[in-house]
Amino acid sequence: MTGEQVIKDIKQAFGVYGLGDINHNIDRPLSCFILCFCFLDQLAAYRFNSNRSHSRFNTIIEKYLPHYNSFRLYETLRNKLLHSYSTKDAYMLFSDKSFIEENEFRNMDLLNTYVFVPEIENVYKKIETEFDKPNSEAKNCAIKFVLENKIHVITSKNFDFMNYTSEQAEVLIKHYTPLMKDKYLDEAKELKIVAIIKESQDGINYIVKVLPNRMQQVVQFWREIWKAAEFLNLESPEQVLKGHNLLP
């Protein structure tokens, strides 16, 4: 992955998904502030290339939200909200669009999502601008953090089931059954493969499902054949079908 792709993924994750979820919950103060602090914490990880949650969170506050320095947000809110679902009587959290303080004085016992969220957005805009500058400290830190820690930044991806004809599905079932039977579909080795089946809703296109044993006799999980083959380091369904002249 290139550095430019890393930055592109980070911008989508924070600028689209992160801020999108925060604004979606702006009228739900508890969830909104939890998302805000998670957002700041992880954005700080990229911005400063740091795995030290306490120091990076305080650094991003000091650099981009210095008027909150005295609030000690990491100790009083970030930890309490995320780990205890509590504010420890530090602040009252609320959402009131009509209650927006525009002067230089603010009630330090009250935190309003309609005041705090725009500030979070401004922080992101500043850092996004830094990410866009060639060879900037922020950009280099973000790329280094992702690549060195092998981070998989959340991005958008279209998901479609792999469809096969009835004949192709039968070939795959016959090929993979002796290779997968009694193997496991999970790292914990709890989901042992018991069967491979095909299913169709239209009688034309088929999904090939790998079924493990039921967990606690309640939940039935399954995996698509290509994903199971990938997990077990077996040849792909495409290779199998090409070997049977069922794919060009």
pLDDT single digits (tens) 30-58: 999 999 999 999 999 999 999 998 899 99
pLDDT of residue 104: 67
Distance CA 87, CA 75 (A): 10
> Could you tell me the residue ranges of all domains in the chain?
3-149, 166-243
Segment among 5-19, 82-96, 134-148, 171-185 with least mean pLDDT? 82-96
- Whether the pLDDT of residue 218 is over 80: the answer is no
pLDDT of residue 84: 77
pLDDT of residue 85: 81
Question: Residue 119 burial (CB < 10 Å; 0-12/13-18/19+)?
Answer: middle
The better pLDDT of the pair 154, 135 is held by 135
- Whether the pLDDT of residue 216 is over 70: the answer is no
Q: What tokens were used for 150?
A: 């092998």
pLDDT of residue 75: 81
pLDDT of residue 81: 82
What is the average per-residue pLDDT within 154-164?
81
What is the average per-residue pLDDT within 156-164?
81
**Predicted confidence (pLDDT) per residue in 226-245, tens digit:** 999 999 999 999 999 999 99
| Alpha helix stretches (DSSP H) within the chain | 3-12, 19-24, 29-48, 53-64, 73, 79, 113-132, 137-149, 166-180, 225-231, 237-243
Q: Let me know: does 44 contact 88? Beta carbons within 8 Å.
A: no
Confidence of residue 102 (pLDDT cuts 50, 70, 90): low
> What's the whole-model pTM score?
0.73
pLDDT of residue 116: 94
Distance CA 167, CA 171 (A): 6
pLDDT of residue 43: 96
Distance CA 114, CA 67 (A): 17
Task: Name 12's Cβ contacts closer than 8 Å, sequence gap at least 6.
Answer: 155, 156
What proportion of the chain, given as a percentage, has pLDDT over 90? 70
Task: Name 212's Cβ contacts closer than 8 Å, sequence gap at least 6.
Answer: 184, 185, 186, 191, 192, 193, 194, 221, 222
The better pLDDT of the pair 82, 123 is held by 123
- Whether the pLDDT of residue 87 is over 80: the answer is no
Cα 163 → chain centroid = 27
pLDDT of residue 217: 60
pLDDT of residue 72: 83
Q: What is the mean pLDDT of the chain?
A: 91
pLDDT of residue 91: 81
- Whether the pLDDT of residue 192 is over 90: the answer is yes
- Whether the pLDDT of residue 86 is over 90: the answer is no
pLDDT of residue 70: 82
